Amino acid sequence: MKKWMNRISTLFLFGFSVIILFMSLKLKVGSLNNPEAGFAPFLASLLLLFLSAVILIKDFLSFAEADQKVPFITWKNLMKPINLMGALIGYGLLFTTLGYVTSTFLLMLAMFIIYESKKWMHKIITACIIAGISFLIFDVWLRVPLPKGIFDFSSFIKTWW
């Protein structure tokens, strides 16, 4: 699996460098005595293109026997990071709509569940407390304008405080 992950990550860098290379040319590279906006990105993308090509070639030529001896990652281990990323993407999507307090409560609850799924009541109360206290710290004290959303719990917290 590591071999494939390696190839995918290196292909990502390769593709990225190709895109930047063409965009730099479009920006105009200029000349050595008058370098323009695309000059430095062109050089950096050329270097990245070369290096990622070398890594890819090395990877295809090697049999990577050593990699197979060590278990790289299992689906069981990968589940928690994937779930956390899913929760964070959901948080990003709902952040302005639901508001800071509600979306943070849901994110906290999701993260507690991701780690272990016992003691539900305990988790709900802890998530509530963290969402409320963090709102007080950042919105009320540090004056970070956090989104209120459709469930405006923020005014309730402020009134209660």
Partner 1 sequence: MDVFGNVLYGFQISLQPINLLYCFVGVILGTLTGVLPGLGPSGTIAILLPITFNAPAVSSVIMLAGIFYGAQYGGSTTSILVSIPGEPSSIVTCIDGHQMARHGRAGPALGISAFGSFIAGTVGVIGLMFVASPLAKIALKFGPPEYFSLMVLGLIILIYLTQKSLIKAISMGAFGLILSFFGLDIVSGQPRFAFGLDELFDGVGIVPVAMGLFGVAETLANLEKTEEVKIFETHIKGLLPSRKDWADSIWPLIRGTTIGFFLGILPGGGAILSSFVSYAVEKKVSKHPERFGQGTIEGVAGPEAANNAASSTGFIPLLTLGIPANVVLAMLLAGLLIHNITPGPLLLKQHPDVFWGVITSMYTGNVLLLVLNLPLIGMWVQITKLPYRLLFPLIILFCVIGVYSINNAVFDIWIMLIFGAIGYFMKKCDYEPAPLTLAYVLGPMMEQALRQSLIISNGSFSIFFFRPISAIALVVAVFLLVTAFTGFAKQKRLQVVEGE
Closest CA to 134 of 99, 92, 88: 99
33 in contact with partner 1 (CB under 8 A):
yes
Report the residue from 11, 22, 36, 64 that binds partner 1 according to the rule CB under 8 A: 36
**Residue 106, SS3?**
helix
**CA 152, 153, 154, 157 torsion: positive or negative?**
positive
66 with 48: CB under 8 angstroms?
A: no
User: Other C-beta atoms within 10 Å of 94: how many?
Assistant: 15
Q: What is the largest CA-CA distance in the chain?
A: 69
27 in contact with partner 1 (CB under 8 A):
yes
154 in contact with partner 1 (CB under 8 A):
no
CB of 110 vs partner 1, minimal distance in Å? 9
Q: What is the DSSP letter of 72?
A: -
22 in contact with partner 1 (CB under 8 A):
no
In this structure, the chain runs to a length of 161
Count of chain residues binding partner 1 (CB under 8 A) = 61
Sites for partner 1 among residues 80-109 (CB under 8 A): 80-81, 84-85, 88-89, 91-92, 95-96, 104, 107-108
- Six-digit token string for 131: 């969402």
For partner 1, the binding residues (CB under 8 A) are: 2, 5-6, 8-10, 13, 16-17, 20, 23, 27, 31-41, 44-45, 47-48, 51-52, 54-55, 72-73, 77-78, 80-81, 84-85, 88-89, 91-92, 95-96, 104, 107-108, 111-112, 114-116, 130, 134, 138, 142-146
